[in-house]
Structure 1
Amino acid sequence: MNRRRAQLLIFSCSFLLAFLLQLAPLPATFLPFKPYWVALVMIYWAIEAPERVGLGFAFLLGLAGDILTGQLLGEQALRLIVLAFIVLRFRSRLRFFPMGQQTLAVLALLLNDRIVVLMVRGFSGDPIPTFGFWVAPVVGMLAWPFVFLLLDDVRARLRAQES
């Protein structure tokens, strides 16, 4: 398998796995603790391979997420576009942050995502969510180093095989 095809396979499989984790059923008690896996994977790829992740890709990814989860059509698309825009805008800084600062930046991005969700759901007339609504970004922040290191390790192994 050539390098380009292997990179595309890793890219595609990472998003497929993120969607599967997003769709994984959890008991109602643990639902507030489920991080936004698709956003974490998109943040990684926007930092490491910005030529693959643009606003159009984020929009299509969000529409696919809306269709898969049965949410309001366009909600995840808007969330991912905002997230992709911010990450791509500040990519040069985020990329060279140490892991601790990068983790805090991811927390800020995920909190911003929650504010976008609040706005969308507020406009659609949904009630204000409970405190548990704000727990998922913290769990996403804690999961970020593992997501980053796992995807980085897979890419490094691919590069090592080619050498």
Structure 2
Amino acid sequence: MHAKSSGGTIIGLTLFFSMALSIAPWPDHLAILMPSWTLLTLIYWSIALPHKVSILTGFSTGLLFDVLTGSLLGQNALIFSTASFFSHSLYSRLRNYPVWQQSTLILMFLGCIKLLSLWLNHFIVHIEYTYQHGLQVLFSALVWPAIFAVLRLIRRHFKVQ
């Protein structure tokens, strides 16, 4: 078995893998439904290990994500740090909810985050809201139980604490 891990490497690798999923070339019919892999991974680690994954982690992950996706520098940093802040604020409650109830809260939370993102994009590049943005949020909430299960399995296997 593995010794008790501090977890920094595992957390970094899962965030890296989620960023790779986000920037991978997907067919158009799948790209419409693409969940926010990196944001969901960051939310999981913020809830599971709030003493290891901080708002600064969210900010630096967001900056790296901005560079990788070519979006406005600082936009995803603001969004990811906001997500980390709210995950930290509510982690003691979220941990005790069943996964389906967490999915419901994730749906509402990601909806607010998506509106913030669209609001910022509207002023910069004049992007309009379409049903596809809502589908991404909905699919992210539907995928949450699977992401939760996989990341919890990884955390337990490598004894990340």
Letter in 1 for 2:4: R
Greater than 6 Å deviation, 4+ residue runs: none
**TM-score with structure 2 length normalisation?**
0.92
Matched with 1:53 is 53
Shift of 1:125: 4.3
Alpha-carbon RMSD: 1.4
Matched with 1:44 is 44
Cα distance in 2, alignment partners of residues 92 and 82 from structure 1: 17
Structure 2: stretches of 5+ with no match in the other structure: none
User: SS at 1:51's partner residue?
Assistant: coil
User: SS at 1:53's partner residue?
Assistant: coil
Shift of 1:113: 1.2
Q: Does 1:3 align with 2:31?
A: no
Cα distance in 2, alignment partners of residues 41 and 118 from structure 1: 21
Question: Whose RCO is larger (CA < 8 A, sep 6+)?
Answer: 2
Matched with 1:134 is 134
**TM-score with structure 1 length normalisation?**
0.90
Q: How do residues 1-163 of structure 1 correspond to structure 2 at under 5 angstroms?
A: 2-4=3-5, 7-159=7-159
After superposition, give the CA deviation of every residue in 1:85-139 in whole Å (9 maximum; x if it has no partner). Answer: 1111111111100111111111112111111111101221413132111111111
Structure 1: stretches of 5+ with no match in the other structure: none
Cα distance in 2, alignment partners of residues 101 and 90 from structure 1: 13
Shift of 1:158: 2.8
